[in-house]
């Protein structure tokens, strides 16, 4: 999700899927505000000063947030030299303002601030995703680099059979083509977009680290890990604990999938003992494997409908997919999207200009101007993504009346989990309710392994990828991995956590992390790992509240206004309270817990263990 204002856990989200923050005509930017004074004034600060400082920050963030949102929106919808110029400029202004405010908080650090004031102060201090140091020119250089990186990614194309092909088309081809040679070619060519990013990325790391150190953090990685209402080191340990809970499930899925690929393609293409070829899993980054269902479907227990086919047969359009997504939310008692959503969103890729196709949800004015931006394709993957993006919009709307400092997810993983939780309700019964499936086509209980397998290919397969993206960045920001080793370290992590390998040797200048949106887009990624844990906790709690007694994967909360009310109450809290309180408000527990996803897939785990019993798993 792109946030407009400050960074990882901070204020008014510009959009859900990247990170910048606003400034411009602020008092601070004009060197009149308390943030500027904060570093210079010698008289001891009072609580009243602290209150005034926070109020000024709130006003500035709100004003700048709206201004910057409009600029970033235009740039993301029309990438040109000029809109990049504008975006870089507003990016620099917002970073500068954020840094001034963050530094300004130092003046109040010894004051006995009340809970709320202290929380806001802390969020101002650590709200930036990529801080610049306050020295002249740093914010401008940083913004120029980050704008360049994102635009290099979003305007990237490859040549395929003498045709220019953009990433959104390539993603479809990676999911549907099966010829290993073709897959390798597309996979390798897409990674030619990123070598020119490497030096810029390295410079960006230097600047942002200097900015983080000025604010009292060891490096940017520590800053990112500080956004979870606990010390950074504890959060890092928490993440490893969660991974430990789900790793056995991933290992079994990996083992089973690799065996199926080996059976289909033979040892030459996919040996049955090493990592899985990263281009053979139906996704450009091997992050979700749902497109491989036909290869791995369990014999005798496979579902016999395909959601992509159903959508196409029913002549869904991208707009219709969004309408049906909205109808899910309104069935929970939430208000329909405003007319402006339909007038201003970008739902299909325009033919005549370059846009950022990576899906995002935007909150332009912290009021009612919410939008999505997607190059939507009519397929199951994007049907899920539509629900995902609308989740961001409904969250943004729920917390819009809070202080701009609290207009964010309880933590960033919550923001990512809302829509995914909703999409877990896309069950066969739900598909009947919306007229996509005939009652007679509802698979009986004997097909549950098929249903679970399909879901696991997306939800379980994703987990190690969700984790390693930031494991890599933490190493980069800490200096443990230097630019010469960027790519090697990337593949070490891909192998270690995911058990995937590149389809061939990588060129010496390769910068493969740069071929994934969130690296050049500077969107922290731990949020998705956390979301994939949390969404199953939401599902478990919601279905229990609904009195559901069947298996969790058959439970749909569609039409349940009581759940909608309770869920919205959690969303309305925004970031105003430490996240365990928000989690407790809906689920009754204060801990993130991988046991919910493990429980959801328990029957599949049993099946996989049985299937794998004579195989040597691991890589
Ligand atoms: O970036 C996204 C969303 C926008 S916040 C489309 N996701 C991650 C990705 O595409 O890599 C959703 C799941 C993971
Ligand atoms: Zn998202």
Q: Would you kindly state where each structural domain of the chain is located, as residue ranges? A: 12-152+199-216
More confident residue, 458 or 32: 458
Grade residue 15 by pLDDT with cuts at 50, 70 and 90: low
**Model confidence pLDDT, tens digit, residues 536-561:** 999 999 999 999 999 999 999 999 99
Q: Just list the catalytic residues.
A: 358-359, 388-389, 392, 416, 518, 528
> Strand 360-363 relative to strand 2-3: parallel, antiparallel, unpaired?
unpaired
Distance (Å, whole) CA 388 – CA 376? 13
Q: What's the confidence (pLDDT) of residue 41? A: 57
By residue count, the chain amounts to 619
- Residue 262 half-sphere exposure, CB side, CA atoms within 13 Å? 14
Tell me, using a 6 A CB cutoff, whether residue 418 lines ligand 1.
no
CA of 43 to the centre of ligand 2 (A): 45
Nearest CA to ligand 1 atom 13: 528
312-338: average pLDDT: 98
Measured distance between the N- and C-terminal CA atoms of the chain, rounded to whole angstroms: 33
437-444: average pLDDT: 95
Q: How high does pLDDT run on average in the chain?
A: 94
Q: What's the confidence (pLDDT) of residue 304? A: 87
Q: What's the confidence (pLDDT) of residue 16? A: 58
**Model confidence pLDDT, tens digit, residues 104-144:** 999 999 999 999 999 999 999 999 999 999 999 999 999 99
- Give the DSSP H/E element, type plus range, for residue 201: helix 198-214
Distance (Å, whole) CA 466 – CA 487? 18
CA of 18 to the centre of ligand 2 (A): 10
Nearest ligand 1 atom to the CA of 287 is 11
Tell me, using a 6 A CB cutoff, whether residue 528 lines ligand 1.
yes
Judged by phi (left if over 0) then psi (alpha if -120 to 50, else beta), residue 31 lies in left
Percent of the chain with pLDDT over 70: 93
Phi, psi of 501 (to 5 degrees): -130, 155
Nearest of 302, 216, 223, 243 to residue 462 by alpha carbon: 243
Distance (Å, whole) CA 523 – CA 8? 8
Asked whether the whole model's pTM tops 0.75, one would answer: yes
Degrees (nearest 5) of the Cα angle 107, 108, 114? 170
Tell me, using a 6 A CB cutoff, whether residue 29 lines ligand 1.
no
Asked which of 37-51, 416-430, 515-529 is least confident by mean pLDDT, the reply is 37-51
CA of 438 to the centre of ligand 2 (A): 31
Give 612-618's long-range contacts (Cβ < 8 A, gap of 24+): 612/252, 612/255, 612/256, 612/259, 615/255, 615/259, 615/272, 616/273, 617/251, 617/252, 617/254, 617/255, 618/251, 618/255, 618/499
DSSP per position, 76-118? HTS--HHHHHHHHHHHHHHHHHHHHHHHHGGGGTTS---HHHH
Q: What's the confidence (pLDDT) of residue 2? A: 41
Grade residue 10 by pLDDT with cuts at 50, 70 and 90: very low
Is 90 exceeded by the pLDDT of residue 188? Answer: yes
For the chain, the 3-state helix, strand and coil shares in percent, each to the nearest 5, are: 60, 5, 35
Distance (Å, whole) CA 395 – CA 216? 31
Distance (Å, whole) CA 68 – CA 46? 32
417-437: average pLDDT: 98
Q: What's the confidence (pLDDT) of residue 586? A: 98
Grade residue 20 by pLDDT with cuts at 50, 70 and 90: very low
Is 70 exceeded by the pLDDT of residue 100? Answer: yes
Tell me, using a 6 A CB cutoff, whether residue 17 lines ligand 1.
yes
Is 60 exceeded by the pLDDT of residue 21? Answer: no
CA of 512 to the centre of ligand 1 (A): 18
Tell me, using a 6 A CB cutoff, whether residue 16 lines ligand 1.
yes
Grade residue 42 by pLDDT with cuts at 50, 70 and 90: low
270-284: average pLDDT: 97
Grade residue 43 by pLDDT with cuts at 50, 70 and 90: confident
Q: What's the confidence (pLDDT) of residue 277? A: 98
Is 90 exceeded by the pLDDT of residue 3? Answer: no
Measured between alpha carbons, how far is residue 594 from residues 197, 597, 600 in Å? Answer: 36, 6, 10
Tell me, using a 6 A CB cutoff, whether residue 15 lines ligand 1.
no
- Our mutation pick for probing the ligand 1 site, out of 3, 16, 359, counting the most ligand atoms within 8 A of Cβ, is 359
Nearest of 147, 175, 128 to residue 5 by alpha carbon: 128
Percent of the chain with pLDDT over 90: 92
């Amino acid at each position: 999700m792109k946030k407009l204002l400050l960074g990882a856990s901070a204020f008014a989200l510009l959009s859900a899927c990247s990170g910048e923050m606003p400034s411009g005509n602020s008092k601070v930017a004009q060197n009149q505000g308390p943030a500027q004074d904060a570093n210079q004034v010698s008289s001891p600060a009072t609580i009243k000063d602290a209150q005034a400082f926070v109020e000024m920050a709130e006003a500035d963030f709100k004003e700048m947030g709206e201004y910057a949102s409009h600029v970033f929106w235009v740039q993301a919808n029309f990438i040109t030299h000029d809109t990049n110029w504008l975006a870089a400029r507003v990016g620099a202004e917002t970073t500068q303002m954020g840094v001034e405010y963050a530094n300004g908080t130092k003046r109040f650090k010894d004051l006995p601030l009340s809970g709320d004031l202290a929380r806001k102060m802390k969020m101002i201090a650590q709200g930036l995703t990529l801080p610049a140091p306050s020295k002249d020119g740093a914010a401008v250089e940083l913004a120029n680099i980050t704008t360049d990186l994102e635009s290099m990614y979003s305007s990237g194309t490859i040549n395929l059979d003498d045709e220019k092909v953009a990433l959104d088309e390539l993603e479809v081809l990676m999911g549907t083509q099966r010829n290993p040679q073709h897959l390798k070619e597309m996979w390798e060519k897409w990674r030619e977009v990123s070598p020119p990013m490497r030096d810029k990325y390295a410079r960006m790391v230097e600047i942002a680290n200097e900015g983080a150190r000025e604010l009292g953090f060891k490096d940017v990685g520590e800053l990112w890990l500080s956004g979870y209402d606990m010390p950074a080191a504890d959060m890092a340990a928490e993440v490893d604990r969660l991974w430990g809970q789900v790793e056995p499930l991933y290992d079994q899925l990996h083992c089973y999938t690799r065996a199926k690929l080996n059976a289909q393609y033979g040892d030459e293409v996919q040996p049955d003992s090493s990592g899985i070829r990263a281009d053979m899993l139906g996704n450009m980054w091997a992050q979700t494997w749902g497109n491989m269902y036909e290869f791995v479907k369990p014999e005798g227990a496979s579902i016999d409908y395909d959601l992509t086919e159903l959508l196409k047969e029913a002549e869904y359009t991208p707009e219709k997919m969004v309408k049906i997504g909205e109808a899910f939310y309104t069935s929970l008692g939430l208000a329909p999207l405003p007319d402006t959503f339909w007038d201003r969103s970008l739902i299909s890729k325009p033919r005549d200009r370059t846009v950022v196709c990576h899906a995002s949800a935007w909150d332009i004015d912290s009021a009612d101007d919410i939008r999505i931006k997607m190059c939507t394709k009519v397929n199951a993957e994007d049907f899920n993504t539509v629900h995902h993006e609308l989740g961001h919009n409904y969250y943004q709307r729920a917390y819009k009346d809070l202080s701009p400092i609290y207009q964010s997810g309880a933590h960033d993983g919550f923001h990512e989990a809302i829509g995914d939780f909703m999409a877990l309700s896309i069950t066969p019964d739900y598909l009947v309710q919306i007229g996509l499936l005939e009652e007679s086509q509802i698979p009986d209980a004997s097909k549950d392994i098929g249903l679970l397998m399909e879901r696991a290919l997306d939800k379980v397969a994703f987990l190690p990828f969700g984790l390693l993206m930031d494991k890599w960045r933490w190493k980069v920001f800490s200096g443990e991995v230097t630019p010469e080793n960027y790519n090697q370290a990337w593949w070490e992590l891909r192998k270690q956590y995911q058990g995937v390998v590149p389809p061939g040797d990588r060129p010496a200048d390769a910068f493969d992390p740069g071929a994934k949106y969130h690296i050049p887009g500077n969107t922290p990624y731990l949020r998705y790992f956390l979301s994939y844990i949390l969404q199953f906790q939401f599902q478990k709690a919601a279905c229990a509240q609904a009195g559901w007694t069947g298996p969790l994967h058959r439970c749909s909360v569609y039409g349940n206004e009581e759940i909608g009310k309770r869920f919205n109450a959690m969303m309305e809290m925004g970031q105003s309270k430490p996240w365990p309180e928000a989690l407790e408000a809906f689920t009754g527990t204060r801990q993130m817990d991988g046991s919910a996803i493990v429980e959801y897939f328990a029957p599949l785990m049993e099946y996989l263990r049985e299937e794998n019993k004579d195989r040597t798993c691991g890589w």
